[in-house]
Structure 1
Amino acid sequence: METRPRSFYILAAFFTLFLIFLYGPTITIAILSFQDPQGGLTFPMRGTSLHWFRDLFEEQAVGDIWGSFRRSFILGLMVMVTTVIVSIMGGLAFRKRFAGSTLLFYLIITSLVIPSILISLGVGLIFSQAGLSVHWSTSGFGAQLSWTLPFGLLIMFAVFNRFDKSYEEAARDLGASPWQTIRHVVLPIIAPSLIGVALFGFTLSYDEFARTLLTAGSYNTLPLEIFGMTTNVTTPVIFALGTLTTLFSFIVIAVFLLIVWLTGRRRAKQGSDAGKGLV
């Protein structure tokens, strides 16, 4: 039996420590959220129960948990749809060279390296100085797009850089118009990547704090609400909230992965049916 080198065990131990570092805080919060009504914010645990999860669904003495969740969810959907649409349009536009394309590309990417709090401050000032309402659905929406759009565009640039143009040429040879080519050829091929862009857009928006801090106006999104609760909530209810929001994030990711899997199976079935038709 071949023995593994010592380096394998060293790297395995390092990777295990990395996973503990990555998921340890989340697991700790999840464990502490199952304490009984006398539980505190630290170990050791004081019994086990679902008391703090039930407490989340009762009228809260502080905060607006479900209102902030609803706002974050709606904002995430708005950002997701906009990111997908603009990323597709940008990816298609950058397939051809045009005047100022390089400068425009770097301007888009620069948004990722500017401190998020400065983006939040700048967007908030622009809206207030222009006499516009500083609100999570307007200024908050714009600030979050400055975070999600560069990621979406980078993904689409990579996708179209590897895209085989012969599919489009074949569609045009068969008489398809440019719109028909995009709708029936390009979009189905890049569909898994579009789902990835949508996932990026939603999750980045749903969890975003810094770029929303000064642009949400009078109503908090969920990250802002949780941050506010850390200053005045001294019970494990905040851990229960963190556990549920983390679970929700995993459910969203699972749904998107399921869509990708189903899309892949559908494409494979269509390809198999087309192959049988040629036989």
Structure 2
Amino acid sequence: MDRRRPRSFYPLAAFFGLFLLFLYGPTLTIAILSFQGPTGGLTFPMRGVSLHWFHDLFQQQAVGDIWGSFRRSFALGLMVMVTTVVVSVMGGLAFRKRFAGSGVLFYLVVTALVIPSILISLGVGLIFNQTGLDVHWSTSGFGSQLTWTLPFGLLIMFAVFNRFDKSYEEAARDLGASPWQTIAHVVLPIIAPSLIGVALFGFTLSYDEFARTLLTAGSRNTLPLEIYGMTTNVTTPVIFALGTLTTVFSFLVIGVFLATVWALNRRRARAGSDAGKGMV
């Protein structure tokens, strides 16, 4: 059997390498520049190597509210995550059966993905202003971001329930389980990895969302808005240090979610193995 790679492999591999460099090059550049020495600037060449700017990041800043904006983004991300998971599961269960207006409702939900984000932000902000409600990150910002995360969550749940084996539910009902017991003890444990995926989508999409929060956050910025504001008046690598830490935090969040999925799958495999041994 000839295992030699075709000639097309090498130009395609080079193209893929350039794509990765284009995708991650800016992030790597920011990470490198964040380790500038105390006299370093925002560009190359580097003037020494140190952790000075990371230390400076934790000091009182002359401009911006870094840690306040981080707490707001984190809290908003958790709110959006929980709401996205709950509504997506409820929507996925509802769409398993046809009901009047289901098609129209589906397209209304998906339409939110194609409407320009800045128009969503402007529209939600105007609604709150016209109705006399305060424009605040926890209300108008929360609602605006849900128009971004819910369609993704619903589409994932539609795919999950489309291939869900209903025989598990039928077996639970035959054993006397109520509808709520069937959902709690059969359906949710089976789709738990997918729910974690929806939660990850909800949190990460909210955590770094800029356009849909721009006109709906009110007077207190979320972290993306704060970083954008800092680019106009911060002239030291401290902003690079902030970018590096937020990137590391994002990867940690993704790692926690992936580890949870791995643990659930391993637990399910162990339970299946134990059940098989019991039958033998």
TM-score tier, shorter chain, comes to: over 0.9
| Alignment correspondent of 1:105 | 106
Cα distance, 1:241 vs structure 2: 0.2
1:97-123 alpha-carbon deviations (Å, 9 max, x no partner): 001101100000000000000000000
Query: What is the identity percentage for the equivalent residue pairs of Structure 1 and Structure 2?
Result: 86
Matched residues in 2 for 1:235 and 1:178: separation? 59
Q: What is the TM-score of this pair, normalised by structure 2?
A: 0.99
1:191 aligns to 2:192 (yes or no) = yes
Matched residues in 1 for 2:78 and 2:137: separation? 13
- Give the AA of the match of 2:186: V
| Alignment correspondent of 1:39 | 40
| Alignment correspondent of 2:136 | 135
Matched residues in 2 for 1:118 and 1:124: separation? 10
Matched residues in 2 for 1:219 and 1:157: separation? 36
1:72-97 alpha-carbon deviations (Å, 9 max, x no partner): 00000000000000000000000000
- Give 4+ residue runs of structure 1 displaced > 3 Å after superposition: none
> Secondary structure of 2:49's partner?
coil
> Structure 2: which 5+ residue stretches go unaligned?
none
Matched residues in 1 for 2:145 and 2:18: separation? 33
1:97-155 alpha-carbon deviations (Å, 9 max, x no partner): 00110110000000000000000000000011111110000000000000000000000
Matches within 5 A, 1:203-218: 203-218=204-219
> Secondary structure of 2:148's partner?
helix
> Structure 1: which 5+ residue stretches go unaligned?
none
- Give the AA of the match of 1:158: A
Matched residues in 1 for 2:5 and 2:208: separation? 41
1:272 aligns to 2:273 (yes or no) = yes
Matches within 5 A, 1:128-277: 128-277=129-278
> Secondary structure of 1:6's partner?
coil
- Give the AA of the match of 1:106: Y
Cα distance, 1:11 vs structure 2: 1.0
Matched residues in 1 for 2:256 and 2:41: separation? 34
Matched residues in 1 for 2:41 and 2:255: separation? 32
Q: What is the TM-score of this pair, normalised by structure 1?
A: 0.99
| Alignment correspondent of 2:61 | 60
Aligned Cα root-mean-square deviation (Å): 0.7
> Secondary structure of 2:232's partner?
helix
Cα distance, 1:3 vs structure 2: 2.5
Matched residues in 2 for 1:94 and 1:108: separation? 13
- Give the AA of the match of 1:243: T
Matched residues in 2 for 1:182 and 1:10: separation? 51
Cα distance, 1:5 vs structure 2: 1.3
- Give the AA of the match of 2:75: I
Cα distance, 1:2 vs structure 2: 3.8
Matches within 5 A, 1:90-129: 90-129=91-130
Matched residues in 2 for 1:32 and 1:145: separation? 35
> Secondary structure of 2:8's partner?
helix
Matched residues in 2 for 1:253 and 1:221: separation? 20
Paired positions, count: 279
Matched residues in 2 for 1:37 and 1:224: separation? 26
1:19-47 alpha-carbon deviations (Å, 9 max, x no partner): 10110000000000000111111111111
| Alignment correspondent of 1:10 | 11
